[in-house]
Structure 1
């Protein structure tokens, strides 16, 4: 299995892994760009690639940029059959502009296997029941005492 990369301009760099055990490949900016405070910007990587069949690439933030500069990534899926220019959407959650320079590591790419089962539409009562049921949005992150009190409050309503 290989990841084929084609450079689209002279500033492009091949993705690299920071260590032998790193899950992600660092992605490098091929252009200078200012990501405005509390804004967003699309950063060109200057490359296209051929993702291995049976996988997709997920674009994820680099932890250092997130912690130190308030940057995150968005719209981060590269499908197996996409062959166009790869760009990274950066969101700046800080109150200061962030300047990207050529060669900066702006995101990481993680290759993941995909599963695409056939979609089968069924009635609600045909779904297998689970212990969790319909509990969502924090339902598994509260302790039993808080859960009991919430359940009691809902029962009174």
Structure 2
């Protein structure tokens, strides 16, 4: 087994589709949403008052700023999918080109990076989630089975000094290597 996809155990009976390439020359494998989910428009959420106050150099309480930060956090769309690959490969999760243009949906960090040691980790079995923010005017309803992102397997290179750097073993799921 070199690289591929599997369904995580909690979705084993949910009739999910493994990621697939839509055309013969497509680089990306289309990922679908494992569940129906509503992604609210950021403009409907209660952070505009804080932005107005900051723009007009008004005092803003720390609690209000923290509340605004919480509102602007991306939503995680579950895919129910995990990916296995070679140790020197990575799966890059990229937005579908139609999402920002037609729907106002963006991946806030630009891309997602799925490392080979994310597969079958103790934290979440390696389930891949897609981070999304909705900059559109209205809420967006994502249907189960709707294409939400694409994944591209890629090899990566190491720096000459890589063997001298301290490394840790992955101990959890989503975002665990940033601890």
TM-score normalized with structure 2 length: 0.62
Gaps in structure 1 of 5+ consecutive residues: 121-157
Gaps in structure 2 of 5+ consecutive residues: 43-71, 120-125, 163-179
Within 1, Cα distance between the matches of 2:94 and 2:5?
20
RMSD: 1.8
Aligned residues: 120
Within 2, Cα distance between the matches of 1:51 and 1:91?
28
Structure 1: 4+ residue segments shifted above 4 A = none
Is 2:93 the partner of 1:59? yes
Which structure: greater helix fraction?
Answer: 2
> In 2 relative to 1, CA 72–11 (structure 1 residues): closer, same or farther, beyond 3 Å?
farther
Within 2, Cα distance between the matches of 1:47 and 1:55?
17
Pick 1 or 2: higher relative contact order, CA cutoff 8 A, min separation 6: 2
Is 2:158 the partner of 1:116? yes
Are the counterparts in 1 of residues 5 and 81 from structure 2 also a CA contact under 8 Å?
no
* Range that drifts further, 102-111 or 6-15: 6-15
TM-score normalized with structure 1 length: 0.70
User: Which structure would you say has the larger Rg?
Assistant: 1
